[in-house]
Chain A
Amino acid sequence: SQKIEQNSEALNIQEGKTATLTCNYTNYSPAYLQWYRQDPGRGPVFLLLIRENEKEKRKERLKVTFDTTLKQSLFHITASQPADSATYLCALADNAGNNRKLIWGLGTSLAVNP
């Protein structure tokens, strides 16, 4: 069956450390994968997009990797800050289907402690 899995447990880290979040997928062929941030009571906010032929993407303190052999994307926040506390969602667009439609993971809750 097709599925997208993210760290099910909340991640608690100390300010200044690097947070690493995982997104694994099964039986999809992603055209690209996106990471979003969602705060309580708000809609998701786009962070980064990585295409199937890219290995790594960076934006300021954020880094995303994409390994199509492992069927995994990792999302890193370096020098984390309490303001980074939120839920982080991965979403993929499937080549095999209608790639306008994003398929979402459940999200991982990150808490950065001061």
Chain B
Amino acid sequence: GAGVSQSPRYKVAKRGQDVALRCDPISGHVSLFWYQQALGQGPEFLTYFQNEAQLDKSGLPSDRFFAERPEGSVSTLKIQRTQQEDSAVYLCASSLAGGGRTQYFGPGTRLLVL
């Protein structure tokens, strides 16, 4: 079956521009996670949804970052007024149930802010 998909795969933004990153989780997966991964680092947790409810947003680095999952399936991570330090790979993962067990990752969106 289809895995987790993310779009765009690559995004170049000018500093100050707003960007929106999309995640399509595996159908039926209740939980959805967003991570940020800098080069040579492990993923860093950003936020977690269970269905449409955002249960944990403790990892969002600033109020410029906003995530939503209005119908409990597709999710969008929005970054306003991008800064150079936002350059990273943004990974989305989904899992069948809450509890952070097996997570299925998408390929990521590589964001470069110039």
Task: Answer whether A and B are interacting partners.
Answer: yes
Residues of A within 8 A of B (CB): 4, 32, 34, 41-46, 49, 89, 91, 93, 98-107
B4 at the interface (CB under 8 A from A): yes
A93–B44 alpha-carbon span in the complex (Å): 13
B-side interface residues, number (CB < 8 Å):
27
Min CB distance A59 to B, Å, is: 13
Residue of B nearest to A43 (CB): B105
Segment at the interface with A among B13-21, B76-84, B91-99? B91-99
Give 1 or 0 for each of B99-113: 1 = CB within 8 Å of chain A CB: 111111111100000
Kindly list chain B residues whose C-beta atoms are within 8 Å of the C-beta of A43.
4, 91, 93, 105-108
B1 at the interface (CB under 8 A from A): no
Kindly list chain A residues whose C-beta atoms are within 8 Å of the C-beta of B56.
98, 100-101
Min CB distance B66 to A, Å, is: 19
Residue of A nearest to B97 (CB): A100
Kindly list chain B residues whose C-beta atoms are within 8 Å of the C-beta of A49.
101-102
